[in-house]
Amino acid sequence: MALTQASCSSTKTATSQKGTASSVEAEKPKPSKNGIKSYGEVITKDAKSDAGVFTVHKVADKYYYEIPDTLLNRDFLWISRFANLPSGLGGGYVNAGSSVNEQMVEWQKVDNKIVLKTKSYSAIAADSLPINLSVKANNYQPTLYAFDIAAFSKDSSAYVIDVTKFFLSDIKAISGLDSDMRKNYKVSKLDDNRSFINSVKSFPLNIEVKQDFTYDAAEPPSNSETGAISLMMNQSMVLLPKVPMQPRMYDDRVGYFNIRQIDYGSEAYKADEKSFVRRWRLVPKDMAAYKRGELVEPVKPIVYYLDPATPEKLRPYIKAGVEQWNKAFETAGFKNAILAKDPPTKEEDPDFSPEDVRYSVIRYVASTTRNAMGPSVSDPRSGEIIESDIIWYHNHLRSYRNRYLLETGAANPSARTLNTPMEDLGEMMLEVITHEVGHALGLPHNMKASFAYDTDSLRSGTFTQEYGIAATIMDYARYNYVAQPGDKDIRFVRQLGPYDHYAINWGYRYLPDAKSPEEEIPTLSKWIEATNNDPVYQFGSGSGGYDPASQTEGIGDDPIKASTYGLRNLKLVAPQLTKWTAVETNDYNDLDELYGELLGVWSRYIGHVVTNVGGVYENRLKPNQKGFVYTPVPAKMQAASINWVLDNAFASPEWLHHSQISRNIHHASHVEGIRSLQVRHLNNLLSADRMARLMENEVNNVDYNALDMVSQLQRGIWSEIYSGKNIDIYRRNLQKAYLDRMNFLINEEPSRSSRFGTPVDLSQSDIRSIARGELVKLEKQLKAVRARNTNQLTKYHIEDALVRIKNILEAEKA
C-alpha cells in the first residue's frame, strides 16, 4: 500500500493525540442538557459496537457514529458505488463496483449539531494569501446532512450521532440514480417499506455502509411487472492523510489519470489551472543508495491480495500479472515495488477484510459479465492513490478465448478450438491483470502505442517475442491478427512494452531534491523531450475518433495493410468455424456466438481504415518542440482508404455466407446483419464532422476534400450502373442506405448533425451543396441506364431509387 504511516494510524492512536490537535480542530465537547442524553441512555448495554475510524454502534434497528473531536474538520473521501444493481440499468453500461460519485467531505460542529459538508479542492489558494477569503466565500460547499448530537462519549472526547435516517433517505449526492435515470425510468419515490440498511462496518481508516434501496418506478429497466427498481449501494468513507503527498504536475504528453485544481493564488494574470497525476506514494527506503542509482525497496510497497474466491489454478497467473510491473518499477529505481499475496487465513489475520481500505484486493466476481476493471481511490488534494480493487468477472476469459480463435486461428494452431490450452488462457489472464493493474497505477489507455511498430514487423518472431505487438500493455492491442500462416515463432498475445517502462519512470521516479511540484517540471520535461518524438514513447488517448494512429484494437502503423492481413486471416477462419465449434460440442450455440463476433471483428478492421478518411494525426507537443500538433493524413492514403472500403466492406461479402453456418444458426437474418454493419460504416464516412475535416483540407493544402470523397464513394457504391451488371441484394440494400444518408445531409436540421465530433452547421457549409450536386448527378445517370437492364429486381430498384431521389430534392424545396 502507498499510505503514509501517519495515515495508517488506528483510531486509538488518533484519539490519543488530542493534545497536539491543530487549531482548526474543534474544541472539546462539553456535556449539555439541550436534548442531549447520557451516553448510557443512547448506547445501551445491548449495543453491538464496531471500533474503527469512528466507532459504529447498532442499537436495535438504529445505527450511531461516535466521532472523535480530533477527526472533526479532517478531510475524508466519500465514494458511492453500486454493490448490486438490476440488469439493464443505465443502458447496460453500468456494472456492480462502478463508482457513482466521489467527493471530499468533512464533519463539522455547528452549535448542537454535527454537520456533514462537502469540501472541494477544485478551487484553492494558500491560506496565507488574502484571496483565500474570497475563494472560500465564492465556493461555499453544500451541506449533505445535519445531525443532532445524541450524546457525548464517556470521556467527553467524542460526539454520538444517529445516522439511521441519513442512510435511509434518498440523498441525491450519494444515490445511484442520477436525474436521467429517474426521468427515463419514471422514478417517483424511494419506498421506505422496502428499503433498509444492509450493513455498517468500521475499519481503522474507513467505514463501509451498504444500503438496500427500492424505488417506485413506472418503467424500470428490467422486471417491468414489479414497477420497481431495487439496488444495493456501497458508501465508503475514507480518512485521508493529514499531510498530503507532494503532487507531481500532469503533462499530457505522458499518459496518466489526473486531478484538476484552479489556483487563485497564482501570480499569473488569471486563475491558473493545475493538474496532478494520480499515483501511489513510493518513497525509497535507502535514500543514499537510491541517489547512487542502486535499486531500492520502497518504504511501503504496493500490495494486492487475492480474493479468497479466486480459483486455485488461476492464482499463479494473477500474481504474475501483478508482479510483472516490477520490471517497469526497476526502471524507476525501485525493486519489489508491487507484490501479490494470497489472502491471509483467519489464523494469520482474523481482521482481514477486502472492504478495509488498507488492503487492495483483486476481486473475483461470479458474474456473467465479460469484463475486468482497475479502479482506484485517490486523494483529491494530491493525486495520491490510497487503495485499489481490481475486479475480474468470471466470464471474461470467454471473450478472450473467442477473440483468440477468430483473430489468430489462421496462423496459430493452438487457437483452433473452444478448449483453449490452459497455458494460453493463463497467459491471456496474466496480461489482462497486468493491464488492469496499470490502470490502478494511474495509467490510462494509450491507443497510440500500437502505431509505433511497423506492420510487417508483427510477422517476425524475433521482433514480437522481444517487443510484443504494441509499445505498451495499456493499448487495446490484444492479439496479433497481422501474422500470417507460415510465419514462425510469433507472439500472438500482448505484453509489457518499452512505453510502460518510460511512463512508470516518469511518474514514479523519486526526485529528492525537488521541494515542490514546480521544481520537478524541468526534469520531467527533459525526460519527455529526450525521446525526440520517437513513436514508441508517444501517448494518445484514442478519443475524438479522428487520429488513425490512435485507435482501439488496431495494431501496426498502416491500417490498410494491417486490416488486409486481418481480413485475409478471417476469410481462412470463417469456413472452419463449424469444425472448431459445433463439431466439438454437438451444439450450435457456440457457432452462433462466434459467427456474430466474427462479424464484429470484420467491422473493426473496416473501422480502422475508415478513420484514415478525413483523418488527422495528433502529436502532443510543446512550443519548444519541432512539428505540428495536428497533421492531416496524406491525400493518397485517404483516397486509397476509400478504395479499400469499397472493395472490402461495401462489395458483396460472399465469403461470409456458408450454408453450414447460416442455415444452422438463424432462419432469416444473414442479409439484415450485413446491411446493418455496412450502413454503420457508410453513415460514419458520410458524417458531418468527418466531412468538416475533409473541407478543412482545402486550407491545409491537402489535395483531397469532401467532394473528392463523396464523388469517389458514390461512384463505387453505384458501380453497377457503369458496368451494366445486375445489382444483388447486398448492394441494393447499401444503395438505399446511401440515399437515406444523402437525405439526412440535405434535409435534416443543422443542430442534429452536430451532436458528435467536429461542430458544423450544415445549412452554412459545403456539405449540403456537395450532397445535392452528387445526388443530381446520380439521378441523371440512373435515368440514362434504367431501360438497359433486363433483370426485373434491378429495374425495380433503379425506379425506386429515382423516386427516392426526387422526393429528397423536392423535400428540400419545401
Distance CA 242, CA 246 (A): 12
Choice between 527 and 5, residue whose per-residue pLDDT is larger: 527
Is the pLDDT at 12 greater than 90, yes or no?
no
The strand pair at 158-162 and 143-152 is best described as antiparallel
304 bridge partner residues: 340, 360
The cell for 8 is 495508517
Query: What is the distance between the alpha carbons of residues 507 and 256, in angstroms, rounded to a whole number?
Result: 8
- Give the pLDDT mean for 462-467: 97
The pLDDT of residue 68 is above 60: yes
Please give the pLDDT value at position 120.
76
Distances from the Cα of 713 to the Cαs of 103, 654, 673, 728, 758, in angstroms? 50, 21, 22, 18, 21
Confidence of residue 18 (pLDDT cuts 50, 70, 90): very low
| Rounded distance between C-alpha atoms, residue 253 and residue 250, angstroms | 9
CA-nearest of 629, 626, 632 to 618 is 629
Pairing state of beta strands 143-152 and 123-124? unpaired
pLDDT at position 346 is 86
pLDDT in tens, 520-569: 999 999 999 999 889 999 999 988 889 999 999 999 999 999 999 999 99
**What is the arithmetic mean of pLDDT over 359-387?**
81
Place of cell 445491548: 46
pLDDT for 224 equals: 83
Higher per-residue pLDDT: 510 or 31: 510
So what's the pLDDT on residue 16? 36
Please state, for a pLDDT cut of 70, what percent of the chain lies above it: 89
- Angle (nearest 5°) at CA 70 between 137 and 33: 90
Average pLDDT over every residue of 670-686 = 95
Joined together, the cell numbers standing for residue 630 give: 495536428
Confidence of residue 425 (pLDDT cuts 50, 70, 90): very high
Residue 437 and residue 460 in contact, taking contact as beta carbons nearer than 8 Å? no
Distances in Å between the Cα of 418 and the Cα atoms of 157, 266, 568, 586 are 64, 60, 22, 12
Q: 616 in the Ramachandran plot: left (φ > 0), alpha (ψ -120 to 50) or beta?
A: beta
Any bridge partners for residue 376, and if so which?
388
Closest CA to 15 of 75, 66, 55, 70: 70
Torsion of CA 420, 421, 424, 427, to 10 degrees: 110
Please write the tens of the pLDDT for every residue from 151-180.
999 999 999 999 999 999 999 889 989 888
| Per-domain boundaries in the chain | 11-239, 288-580, 653-813
Of 342-346, 537-541, 585-589, 670-674, least confident by mean pLDDT is: 342-346
What pLDDT is recorded for position 20?
Answer: 37
Average the pLDDT over 470-477 and give the result.
Answer: 96
What are 348's three cell numbers? Answer: 494469520
pLDDT at 604 over 70: yes
pLDDT at site 35: 79
Cell of 417: 478450438
Q: Check residues 692 and 665 and name the one with the higher pLDDT.
A: 692
Q: Which three cell numbers stand for residue 318?
A: 494473477
**Region 663-688 average pLDDT:** 92
C-alpha cell at 731: 448492394
β-bridge pairing 228-239 and 385-393: unpaired
Average pLDDT over residues 752-779: 80
Check residue 650 and report its DSSP letter.
S
Proportion of the chain above pLDDT 90, given as a percent: 71
| Residue 812 region by backbone torsions, left for phi larger than 0, else alpha for psi between -120 and 50, else beta | alpha
Rounded to an integer, the average pLDDT of 368-384 is 81
The CA distance from 277 to 475, in Å, is: 19
CA–CA dist 704, 693 (Å, integer):
11
pLDDT at 279: 97
Average pLDDT of the chain is: 88
Q: Is 713 helix (H, G, I), strand (E, B) or coil?
A: helix
Helices marked H in 203-314 = 287-291
Please tell me the predicted confidence (pLDDT) of residue 667: 81
Sign of the four-CA dihedral 69, 70, 72, 78: negative
pLDDT for 140: 55
State the pLDDT at residue 7. Answer: 34
Whole-number pLDDT of residue 762: 80
Which grid cell is 677? 454493419
Mean pLDDT of 312-329: 95
**Highest mean pLDDT out of 9-23, 573-587, 746-760:** 573-587
Tell me what pLDDT residue 753 has: 43
Amino acid at 517: P
Neighbours of 155 (CB within 10 A): 10
> Is 1's pLDDT higher than 50?
no
pLDDT score recorded for residue 351? 81
Q: By C-alpha distance, which of 522, 511, 503 is closest to 442?
A: 503
- Out of 259-263, 570-574, 750-754, pick the least confident: 750-754
Reported confidence tier of residue 398, pLDDT bands at 50, 70, 90: confident
pLDDT of residue 203: 94
